[in-house]
Structure 1
């Protein structure tokens, strides 16, 4: 069955198609005969009980610089004119992002939204993970310099990062001497109104940070991301490199614990990050990594995601 799919994401003009997960999903959808539309989050509107978006019909191809063709914009009623909305814009997870989830939640009884907008709103990456604290490194969330200093004294080297950051941006390592910790805490409290996160540094990051992708609660694949020279950040967007990897018993245990909760929340496409057997993040807003996973494993993760979406859509229609 052909589906009408509206993709809420960043501008198509600016993406790097070689590794972009959303673009891979669009190619896969198109190959199945699904019709694609593209719009930006700020093109959502609400009027008289209806949620709409000014969207362009698009076709895609794997040719950088000539990777899409778009028709004239049309006003889509997202409850009546489409079958699936893919919410795939990149963070920051700010008030604009949250507002988009509130609007999309209003159509969720009529149109399948992936990932579920209420669950996305209720599960920011560095807070949802606290539900599984038994798998995490020692973690502090605060705006208090005194709390941060006491935490560093207990745990030695620490990592400080924004609570709602992404792609490894503004992640800092503080050594055992605590040098610059006060200035960094001051900067964070000045730039962001919310608390920030501090975690015990995991030396195992030198061996890599595993990105594990789960589809409807089941493991689909993983890659190991190694930091670049002189870096602690292993995000591919921050210069990390990817390599093939297998899951350990500990990582399988983590995935088994997360799976039922992800499925129950309607979080179909999730990427978790694990360093040295420690769970650090659960990425639900716009997970990445599937292109690299497929390159190393010879798999077709976008097809698995669409299999799950099509199953959920069939269930959605029958309720």
Structure 2
């Protein structure tokens, strides 16, 4: 029986840190299960007379810090020839990312399993997604208006302002009670009232970490990564200098995460990174969730094995 073919769309593989890279952990698990691995960058995708294609590289991976992948062959492929495609391109969700989801949807229409589902990637912005669960989120407003920023700040005194398309903690601002820089922050984030941005009540619970809780095929992984802000920082994101601390998911957080997790498989979303501060959900990440390797390093669990059980069940 020929090997199943798995394609992964991701950022340049030569730039990753294998110790922390979740996409790499997925490639290792797929290879262990006998999949043939095809590596694709987003700009390698194309359409030829309605047929989704890509310039791809067949690769092998090794779990080490250097010389961790080798290219076996470079070739042009029909995406319809793949069994499964993992979309693991990091945000921002820009026009190129949007076009990529349309190309991947053509492959999906041809019978390929695409994880996560391209339509879901388009429909559910990682910050706006939380609005579907108003009982679980902190006081939040999405607006283009500087006056709304000011009214929200007047009500809550201490707020967080952020763009809707960022990742890794980029362009996230805390405005304290004195309101310093609120005007310029609102102007920058909304591009002078032409772009939507998000404001949320600041949660002092951030000192205990911005918790990344992983959901796999509707199941909550019982361990999470609490990302603790660096000194003089309000952001826990690892990319912003935060420190990760693996820990068990609390009973309270488990109830919230379970309520959200049950909805995901029906939307074609098999892998989710839920972000919680205190007992409130701040983001629902579905484009390229991370933190698998940090959790697996601390606990005896194979998260990617659970993901590929779900994938193989659908194949």
Question: For this structure pair, what is the TM-score category when the shorter chain's length is used for normalisation?
Answer: over 0.9
Indicate conservation of the 8 Å contact 1:9/1:39, yes or no. yes
Taking the TM superposition and a 5 Å limit, the aligned residue runs for 1:61-72 are 61-72=62-73
Shift of 1:14: 0.7
Indicate conservation of the 8 Å contact 1:135/1:279, yes or no. yes
SS in 2 for 1:62: coil
Shift of 1:13: 0.8
What CA RMSD, in Å, does the superposition of the two structures yield over aligned residues? 1.4
Taking the TM superposition and a 5 Å limit, the aligned residue runs for 1:75-94 are 75-79=76-80, 81-94=81-94
Which residue pairs with 1:172 in the alignment? 173
Indicate conservation of the 8 Å contact 1:44/1:54, yes or no. yes
Structure 2 distance, partners of 1:249, 1:301, is 20
Which residue pairs with 2:278 in the alignment? 276
1:196-243 per-position Cα deviation (integer Å, ceiling 9, x unaligned): 111000000011111100001101231211111111111112111122
Indicate conservation of the 8 Å contact 2:25/2:304, yes or no. yes
1:288-317 per-position Cα deviation (integer Å, ceiling 9, x unaligned): 01111111112111111111111122xxxx
Q: Given the two structures, how large is their TM-score scaled by the length of structure 1?
A: 0.94
Which residue pairs with 1:104 in the alignment? 104
Taking the TM superposition and a 5 Å limit, the aligned residue runs for 1:1-319 are 2-79=3-80, 81-109=81-109, 110-190=111-191, 194-220=195-221, 221-313=223-315
Q: Given the two structures, how large is their TM-score scaled by the length of structure 2?
A: 0.96
Indicate conservation of the 8 Å contact 1:152/1:178, yes or no. yes
Structure 1 distance, partners of 2:265, 2:137, is 21
**5+ residue gaps in structure 1?**
314-319
Structure 2 distance, partners of 1:300, 1:256, is 19
Structure 2 distance, partners of 1:122, 1:9, is 20
Shift of 1:57: 0.4
Structure 2 distance, partners of 1:113, 1:88, is 11
1:39-63 per-position Cα deviation (integer Å, ceiling 9, x unaligned): 1111111122210010000011123
Give every structure 1 segment of 4 or more consecutive aligned residues whose post-TM-superposition deviation is greater than 3 Å.
none
Structure 1 distance, partners of 2:174, 2:236, is 13
Structure 2 distance, partners of 1:263, 1:309, is 11
Indicate conservation of the 8 Å contact 1:39/1:53, yes or no. yes
1:88-114 per-position Cα deviation (integer Å, ceiling 9, x unaligned): 010001111111111111221310000
Structure 2 distance, partners of 1:93, 1:298, is 34
Structure 2 distance, partners of 1:171, 1:59, is 38
Structure 2 distance, partners of 1:191, 1:26, is 43
Structure 1 distance, partners of 2:276, 2:28, is 29
